[in-house]
Amino acid sequence: MMNIKHNDMNKRIIEGVNALHSQMKEWMSHLHQHPELALQENESAKYLAEKLRLWGYDVAEGIGKTGIVASMTVGTGKNVIGLRADFDALPIQEINDLPYKSKIEGKSHLCGHDGHSTMLLGAAKYLSETRNFNGTVRLIFQPAEETMEGGPAMIADGLFERFPVDAVYAIHNMPGLAFGKLHFRENEMMAAVDNWEIELTGKGSHGSMPELSIDPVVCGSSLVMALQTIVSRNVSPWQNSVITVGAFLAGNAGNVVPQTAVLRLSIRNMEPELRKMVLNKIRSITKAQAEAFNCQYEIREGIPGAVLVNTPENTRWAADVARKTLGDDQVVYPVHPYMGSEDFSFMLQKKPGTYCMLGSGEGFMVHHPQYVFNQDILPIGAAYWVALTEEYLK
């Protein structure tokens, strides 16, 4: 796994999870080959639930539609820790030559959620075999992180009322960060995301007679450029905001002016007041651009985002546990915030806890069609989960 100064606790944990590495690779390979999109993770949920029941967990399925909560109580301790992993895939075609490549056309685990769930499975098996804790551990396998629906859905389904926890923790792999190092930050860790769709409606025509049309492509092109001025000319360089137009959908033929054009936006902000200003600017600029080009418009606003805020006390504690388990040089703390987003933010609005990054070394970034989850970090994530559980439930 890595060279670490051993004490009795970390030697036992590290040797134990390393012994599970080959099994973890098998579990991840299965999940990777059978990706399922947000709130459609039925077979993945069955696969996870079967293993957890086999190891003696009390498993509840269908939380927030396809989510799972697996609980195990040992001894008489009253403390309860929650560990969360996501397991939905993306609507992206994988371009990799892997022995366990996705078998589903146009769907793939290109964010590493299969690896996240596998790390939690590894910890689950180890904890079930050793039972070296006194209290309750709850393993939360969450669907639909990519669409920001899964966390709110599980919470709305009574997650923390039905399965109480004192605190909840999560982890994400991150290409580009040094292999095997855990990265922690107090307070604001990740941005709020808003996924919006703007539809512009004009008047279709033959491409040779543009004077008879109202061209939504020209309007949309102007709108894309105008939206770039929001961050560059309205947001202070000391603040964090991103507006990305990731999709521009219009027409199919070069000789046709289409009737409609659709823009899909990903909007990220680190502060609530900044978010409000940016979203209002998008609304006003869209209205003005549509009017200028004589188009009709509709803005479809997605699920409202939330800034992911780590609880300082829980973050310091988790970083200390990671140091004791993996070694001082394997923890980076504090780190800068990330403009990526996570619906774990909604869980942290309800319970204290922290979200950290696990470096996976060099490689393509998540969501890239050639991204590959580094399976060598599986035991590291599992060891972190085990250590948190044993330390909190002494």
The pLDDT of residue 1: 46
Whether residues 199 and 335 fall in one domain: no
| Residue 2 within a domain | no
Backbone φ, ψ for residue 77 (5° rounding):
-65, 145
CA end-to-end span of the chain, whole Å? 25
Looking up residue 265, the CATH number of its domain turns out to be: 3.30.70.360
Q: Model confidence at 335, in pLDDT bands (50, 70, 90)?
A: very high
Whether residues 49 and 162 fall in one domain: yes
Q: Which of 276, 301, 326 is the last residue of a domain?
A: 301
Whether residues 252 and 121 fall in one domain: no
Dump pLDDT digits (tens) for 63-103: 999 999 999 999 999 999 999 999 999 999 999 999 999 99
pTM reported for the whole predicted model: 0.92
Whether residues 160 and 48 fall in one domain: yes
Helix 21-33 and helix 113-130, axial crossing angle in degrees, nearest 10:
140
Count structural domains, the chain: 2
The pLDDT of residue 10: 83
Whether residues 150 and 215 fall in one domain: no
Q: Model confidence at 303, in pLDDT bands (50, 70, 90)?
A: confident
Whether residues 152 and 46 fall in one domain: yes
The pLDDT of residue 290: 98
CB-based contacts of 217, cutoff 8 Å, min separation 6: 250, 251, 257, 258, 261
The pLDDT of residue 305: 85
Q: Which of 301, 331, 349 is the last residue of a domain?
A: 301
Q: DSSP assignment of 124-151, as one string?
A: HHHHHHH---SEEEEEEEE--TTTT-HH
Mean pLDDT value across the chain: 96
Residues of the chain with pLDDT > 70, as a percent, come to: 98
Instruction: Dig out the tokens for 56 from the structure.
Output: 């003696």
Among 306, 324, 370, 277, CA closest to 12: 324
Whether residues 147 and 196 fall in one domain: no
Whether residues 213 and 273 fall in one domain: yes
Cβ–Cβ under 8 Å, residues 69 and 57: no
Q: Prior bond to 334 cis, omega within 30?
A: yes
The pLDDT of residue 9: 66
Dump pLDDT digits (tens) for 201-243: 999 999 999 999 999 999 999 999 999 999 999 999 999 999 9
Element containing residue 262 per DSSP (H, E): strand 260-269
Average pLDDT over residues 296-323: 96
Whether residues 294 and 334 fall in one domain: no
Q: Which domain holds residue 274?
A: 192-301
Does residue 8 surpass a pLDDT of 80? Answer: no
Among 310, 311, 331, CA closest to 384: 331
CA distance 123 to 382: 5
Pairing of strands 135-142, 67-74: antiparallel
Element containing residue 183 per DSSP (H, E): strand 182-183
Backbone φ, ψ for residue 365 (5° rounding):
-70, 155
Whether residues 13 and 150 fall in one domain: yes
Q: Which of 249, 274, 301 is the last residue of a domain?
A: 301
Does residue 7 surpass a pLDDT of 80? Answer: no
Average pLDDT over residues 18-43: 98
Backbone φ, ψ for residue 208 (5° rounding):
-85, -10
CA distance 151 to 141: 10
Whether residues 110 and 230 fall in one domain: no
Q: Model confidence at 304, in pLDDT bands (50, 70, 90)?
A: confident
| Residue 1 within a domain | no
Whether residues 17 and 150 fall in one domain: yes
**Side-chain half-sphere CA neighbours of 392 within 13 A:** 27
Give Cα separations from 312 to 316, 318, 341 (angstroms).
Answer: 6, 10, 19
Instruction: Dig out the tokens for 358 from the structure.
Output: 């696990």
